[in-house]
Structure 1
């Protein structure tokens, strides 16, 4: 029986190619056996050129694909897929284990830096269960123990795999026909003694019924401990990116007051008795509480089976189950930037602050004294109104470490089921029919956050008549809280429990139903001696996603310090596809060695976005042996996901370090003052009050501001043109060089403007006629862009199809293998990417922003111009391997456009108060080039036992600090960019493998 075994089950590429070059000698026999099992032998120097549903292994197709073998991951001691995918030269780090504040419990990949929602993640060539309303796949659920290799196609692949494959495709290919027992256990720890990671996997497989069937079961467990920013010298203290001084949040301790005082803001003294009007000099250092490595625990199960029902029919199944918990830990909560009502006769309020309130409100001395000394609340004992009672609207920004840190535990449960039949129609044509269904459920449980209504109730505290304090409204078990006190004097445990010890819950569910039928093979005839190969088929996919929140989570401002609300979402859509691909050998062994042309097309009908046709053309030319030219041109597309279509408009957080309306910036500038005042009035303030805020507006707390955005049911399909052209050079059997130019342009991109599109668009030309200025609404209480999401809309960022994204560059790879002696072998491979540009324009009137080699609040994660990954391995006596990996990242700098808008970042000597880094000479405007080295040793102790020891970040390189508010919170954290640059330092890993 033939059954077209070239990975027909997955519609995946058929050849291993360069993957073998990176494998240690100890794995060569196993790899060769796997090749023979799947029926796809290939010489070690063959070039992987896949990205097609055509499964003929004798064709080198036009789409360049890089391969990461399972042995590479073992040498690197990789535990989750996101760890190695974020380090690919063709990728930009996305949300993963180094992201704490901004991590939603999932990890993603971002190929080419065009967005993690513009690439596909596949398991054996099929779409995997999505994580949430975006349709993205959570890499935490990929079972690496059963993965044979990972193929990365960067560039459009919509014709082959359907919508979303604009930036590329990551295809995890599982081990086929696995037989035997393999058990692995590993342990990692940093040189500082933290960041412990334990992982264990057991995989068992067997053939049965005289080889007609095979079944595989794999079970894994992983546990990862946190690494706190307070445990590293460079991140112990929060440092302002533009001041160089110890920074942090104005939600501080002692409390910062923003309200009706003569200066409009000030801070209580450390003893809680005094108040310094117009002074804010003790921000809260939140760094030590945050983490560089998120705690993570995972259980996963993988099973697959196939059975030859007859000589021409095989049934196959696959199942994946995963349950994981990602925990994010951020600094203690508090009252943050909400506007509260506080009573003048609150016994906790110090006299100095009460007097400042009286002066700010214009009360007479008698009114102030009466209001301060009344023993009642708004009503007297007889129920009548209290004429002396004074209530003040103000922001009391008090951090509450007494209540502990804020935590979010994201527990994801996922299953993905596949079943199908495949077989042969003729000796050269096969068929496959399959269906799959998957569901994921992510439950977020928040703790340590205050509830606004309870905090407000606890703040209205009055004398109890017996020398104590009580809530004016004692219903619900209210206990009075003291936001005016020094550290340790927040109030009773009853008050802490009443306000803070509540749990919020958000449940996000997603599902994917898909079915596909494919016929592929060759036509038995062609232009040349080799027949034309083809693949035709049809697919159906249905996505559903919901988000269900408790009442507090979906109510703006109800959860204090929790960012934006999480309103309910409920949406679905389906798509029907038909597709065809052809590979046509035109010339063979004539005046050129070989010429093959490719073409393909896919018609898609979306229930929400109408129909779309994508297509590709390409080909390979081998003029002489050892040189092959390849190229392809594709029109790709991406339909709006459920979140982009159905998310209600809500106010959340973004980043801005320098507010042009803050401090004395507007003073003396009539045009800027007029715009700032109008934006405060738009928030609900009177003209007179808004005018009084000029000169007294604080910079955004912790560099965070409010932004209002949401889905748009009217957005349509975005389209892209992608093309590559390159060459494969093989001067020797054991030496190969590839070079490929890539170009991606996304039009009608579904995007929102960047923060600086609005901020720069308005304040570089402030006027009432400037349309950008009307899209900024400020706090009516403080004049700032931060505050409670139910009070301050901030920047209005609308979703549209008006965006454009462009990127291009060159990928190169060099692979070499040789035997130095009969007992010593050497293997070398390097992969690199030069990214020429990555331009993003949100609307035709927005800045066409370049982010390659730059970092800022507008650019998210860092994308250096040059990135190279290199590994060299020596093998001794087929028993011992020594492997050294080198990763190079080109230098980057502060984005010039943002630099012109906000001014230079800090340059000079870090002052006292910045912790262990005080006295260092720094330039926060640049991050120099970085190199990381990892050393791995592998020893085959016996035929069945293997040991691996790895030292990661061998030279213990420390990251370059740039302060904490020069970029977005998700990626600029702990004074550095921890997703791009290693924050953990040197660490050690050891693994043992048992195999029978």
Structure 2
């Protein structure tokens, strides 16, 4: 490679002073350059020794400072992180072009206390997160790494390689890797603190870090230790005008949940009726529950972390090294109050709180004799006698069964507290075998524990006990502490004594561990190919990994019918698997320093893996991943590069071992709802065949809050999914414009035998799209199980399975697009101007769960079924940063652009309508500014303003997307729902 290419790659790799986000066209050793007057030299280079003294080159295992990877790598340097004043690694990765926002601080209902990254929108479990090129302990059953545990204070840079990387890093790296590289040989003391506040006075966020390090033993060793703390306050959706009221995306009217207050009841053939407290009458449902004010845009978060690393030269050619990390995170998700969500309860006619008008309706319409077919009502006289009978031994004592929906606001909001603790240790020895060969042998072990405490959830069994009361002072059941319950009033009708009896704490726990060992030899073969100057480099070795995970829960959490609004049972299980791998990589310069061939290099690699599943009778299997690529520099100004890879992903523990569990999905319209089946014999037969009682036809309601029940589970017969990926790119450095670098890379990722489950709409379409006389008995129809009382797709998880979304290897995923990077640095007198641009054009992203499912195109679209992850993927997305450095001051502006997106056309067809402006989100542009002052060489102060113009997020209602990402009438993970934010940071170094 020419020296000019090397110099410009180094000078622009982190965009000079600020380390902005950009793709790395090569990764080369430091060279000596003089900075412009008044300008500090770049703080780091793309190749950086870690605390182990190793050379980290993301994308290859070959440890050679002059190696240039054939795959493009995006880099975010530590200065960029400081200018953004990011608090977690998820904040850094969320806005990368080519990634889509995953579960993070803006996900409230559906988050489980951990934050993740999703590369190319193909799933947050199809990539690998590394620390200094090594795996760390996963945080959950899917093997994902919680980004909350990354020690940002010690991060030198973040490398993101998208596209298959299974050959280099093993399974799971189908969409790429994110590698956090720590600062090496830290010496001195650094203390930093930052404080963030929203323009409206909420969302306070504090972060503080202290790092101490130094050399010892006559500079033979170095040790560093870092401590961090951060705390974030919640931002409630009720505190923003656009999100204070839930709006139905399809009607434009006030929406919300059918589990509301006042209560609703099933009243025989009349269907669902809601109580009118002022009259005591049961009338047509009139008031859904507005749950938005209780939900949050920024989850409360508190974190303590510690990180330590050291290395020591035992001898000239032997170095021992190690690192340890510990993190404790507490995340709280807060959602609307609990209650009774369409569960059957028995109520005596003599219940002391039952209004007379409601009693009359129940007597005239509900069934009072289950032993006789049909609805057996009672007369007005029998009803009146039953109202006076207070003892079960009285011949006139009668109860009726009704499906109750009530939102128990007097109990308080549901709070899920997730406390996660993670520790991870790694140690090893490395050194030189010969002048051309080095070795590295290391092992590590890590564990995580996620403790989940559910607070303010209502116990259904206690509700049933408390409703079997005939006076306001005692329960017929005689249950200890039972307090009769009033479900026939408005807010305030449930006393604190009643609420205290209903509240039950439930707990669950997820533990996971990763043990690994690796031995590797690096070096060169001692000779060069005749037309090349550099020798052939290689890496070879073996690796072992053992994954274990378990989920446990108390009796309350395990019962699918016990906790009101818990979304289903937490089922205990455990599982594990191990993998033994052998790997090798080769980088061979073919032609160098010849006319038309400044450099032509070949890169290859292969990894053979043997998996053993911890299950009786489950056979092991073997997989092979490989890559071939190269780069060609014909002249100084042009470099062409490309790599083709075969990648694999083995099924994770959750996909293999998770028992069938009923939870919640996303679906707005039920084909059996309303009057649609009336007069349509085929549709009626299908609805009844799925478990809907005949008398409910014509009165079935759409899923409450757009959340049908869904049943999913693991599958021990799953096999690894396979992917073919390739990138083709060019690096341009025109000689007529010094310091300008342009990179253009096309990527293509295809996954077959993908481990997927159908979307909720897929399950509906598979049954209802082409109904015939035989559809009522078709498995794709009968596996949908409806509420046995109302015929709806929601209700008690113990009796309503809803939509079956089973896992299989029948899926296919595909995406392709172009990444563009432009970087320019130019001195203007005593000032230095840095310009950088990183953009992505996604041409396509297709997802087909099964051969009978829709091959769904989701780039530029949004719906409850669009996007594999459920998040939005615009067609165009870019970041542009302009920084002017003058003396000790940096003034920087970042421009973030998201292209316009529309309601998915298939969603319009499936639901029969779109609503005005809710069907389109225009292009969005955000501007952030930062000013940094280096007051003294040891002290700097930074002020950052995010969303300078306080641009409000798009308003699309709250029922057009999946619950995790369509919340507060917008998409808060994609668009800024917090508004203008001010961050103040200070850093002191010695």
Query: What TM bracket, shorter-length normalisation?
Result: over 0.9
Say if 1:450 and 1:499, in contact at 8 Å, map to a contact too.
Answer: yes
Counterpart of 1:241 in structure 2 is: 249
2:527 counterpart of 1:509: no
SS of residue in 1 equivalent to 2:247: coil
**Segment drifting more, 366-375 vs 637-646:** 366-375
**Segment drifting more, 56-65 vs 127-136:** 56-65
SS of residue in 1 equivalent to 2:341: coil
Summarize deviations over 1:64-100 as a string: whole Å, max 9, x none.
Answer: 1010001101001100000121111111111110000
Map 1:263-274 → 2, pairs under 5 A? 263-271=270-278, 273-274=279-280
Counterpart of 2:607 in structure 1 is: 602
Q: 2:815 aligns with which of 789, 807, 810?
A: 807
Counterpart of 1:658 in structure 2 is: 669
SS of residue in 1 equivalent to 2:935: coil
| Structure-2 separation of matches of 1:205 and 1:899 | 59
SS of residue in 2 equivalent to 1:341: strand
2:410 counterpart of 1:367: no
SS of residue in 2 equivalent to 1:431: strand
Shift of 1:639: 0.5
| Structure-2 separation of matches of 1:834 and 1:644 | 32
SS of residue in 2 equivalent to 1:345: coil
Counterpart of 1:895 in structure 2 is: 904
Counterpart of 1:915 in structure 2 is: none
2:957 counterpart of 1:952: no
Shift of 1:20: 4.1
Instruction: Evaluate the alpha carbon distance shift between residue 675 and residue 137 of structure 1 in structure 2; reply closer, same or farther with a 3 A threshold.
Output: same
RMSD: 1.8
| Structure-2 separation of matches of 1:487 and 1:230 | 18
SS of residue in 2 equivalent to 1:457: helix
Counterpart of 1:31 in structure 2 is: 43
**Segment drifting more, 298-307 vs 670-679:** 670-679
Summarize deviations over 1:648-698 as a string: whole Å, max 9, x none.
Answer: 1010000111112111222233322221122125xxxxxxxx221111112
| Structure-1 separation of matches of 2:240 and 2:358 | 38
Summarize deviations over 1:746-774 as a string: whole Å, max 9, x none.
Answer: 11111100111111222222343354322
Counterpart of 1:862 in structure 2 is: 872
Instruction: Evaluate the alpha carbon distance shift between residue 696 and residue 228 of structure 1 in structure 2; reply closer, same or farther with a 3 A threshold.
Output: same
| Structure-2 separation of matches of 1:880 and 1:670 | 76
2:433 counterpart of 1:425: yes
TM-score between both structures, scaled by the size of structure 2: 0.93
Say if 2:161 and 2:177, in contact at 8 Å, map to a contact too.
Answer: yes
Map 1:250-329 → 2, pairs under 5 A? 250-260=258-268, 262-271=269-278, 273-277=279-283, 279-329=284-334
| Structure-2 separation of matches of 1:661 and 1:147 | 54
SS of residue in 1 equivalent to 2:806: coil
| Structure-1 separation of matches of 2:717 and 2:267 | 41
Say if 2:265 and 2:405, in contact at 8 Å, map to a contact too.
Answer: yes
SS of residue in 1 equivalent to 2:840: strand
SS of residue in 2 equivalent to 1:484: coil
Say if 2:52 and 2:321, in contact at 8 Å, map to a contact too.
Answer: no
| Structure-2 separation of matches of 1:38 and 1:547 | 35
Say if 2:360 and 2:380, in contact at 8 Å, map to a contact too.
Answer: no
2:718 counterpart of 1:708: no
| Structure-2 separation of matches of 1:59 and 1:807 | 29
Say if 1:398 and 1:484, in contact at 8 Å, map to a contact too.
Answer: no
Say if 1:81 and 1:139, in contact at 8 Å, map to a contact too.
Answer: yes
Map 1:616-635 → 2, pairs under 5 A? 616-635=627-646
Say if 1:423 and 1:430, in contact at 8 Å, map to a contact too.
Answer: yes
Instruction: Evaluate the alpha carbon distance shift between residue 280 and residue 943 of structure 1 in structure 2; reply closer, same or farther with a 3 A threshold.
Output: same
Instruction: Evaluate the alpha carbon distance shift between residue 697 and residue 487 of structure 1 in structure 2; reply closer, same or farther with a 3 A threshold.
Output: same
Shift of 1:735: 1.1
| Structure-2 separation of matches of 1:744 and 1:795 | 30
Say if 1:514 and 1:540, in contact at 8 Å, map to a contact too.
Answer: yes
Say if 1:758 and 1:775, in contact at 8 Å, map to a contact too.
Answer: no
Map 1:533-572 → 2, pairs under 5 A? 533-572=537-576
| Structure-2 separation of matches of 1:524 and 1:798 | 54
Q: 2:931 aligns with which of 937, 954, 969?
A: 937
**Residue segments in structure 1 that go unaligned for 5+ positions in a row:** 1-13, 42-47, 381-385, 682-689, 908-922
| Structure-2 separation of matches of 1:34 and 1:169 | 16
Shift of 1:38: 7.1
Counterpart of 1:6 in structure 2 is: none
2:752 counterpart of 1:747: yes
Counterpart of 1:834 in structure 2 is: 841
Summarize deviations over 1:127-158 as a string: whole Å, max 9, x none.
Answer: 01100110000001101000000000000000
SS of residue in 1 equivalent to 2:339: coil
SS of residue in 1 equivalent to 2:761: helix
Say if 2:17 and 2:41, in contact at 8 Å, map to a contact too.
Answer: no
SS of residue in 2 equivalent to 1:560: coil
Instruction: Evaluate the alpha carbon distance shift between residue 355 and residue 37 of structure 1 in structure 2; reply closer, same or farther with a 3 A threshold.
Output: closer
SS of residue in 2 equivalent to 1:83: helix
| Structure-2 separation of matches of 1:660 and 1:986 | 43
Summarize deviations over 1:590-639 as a string: whole Å, max 9, x none.
Answer: 13211101111000000025110110000001111111100111000011
**Residue segments in structure 2 that go unaligned for 5+ positions in a row:** 1-8, 20-34, 367-376, 614-619
Shift of 1:788: 1.0
| Structure-1 separation of matches of 2:219 and 2:344 | 72
Instruction: Evaluate the alpha carbon distance shift between residue 171 and residue 49 of structure 1 in structure 2; reply closer, same or farther with a 3 A threshold.
Output: closer
Map 1:26-175 → 2, pairs under 5 A? 28-29=40-41, 31=43, 50-175=58-183
Say if 2:722 and 2:751, in contact at 8 Å, map to a contact too.
Answer: yes
Instruction: Evaluate the alpha carbon distance shift between residue 436 and residue 750 of structure 1 in structure 2; reply closer, same or farther with a 3 A threshold.
Output: same
| Structure-1 separation of matches of 2:210 and 2:195 | 15
**Segment drifting more, 477-486 vs 942-951:** 477-486
Shift of 1:898: 1.5
TM-score between both structures, scaled by the size of structure 1: 0.92
SS of residue in 2 equivalent to 1:503: strand
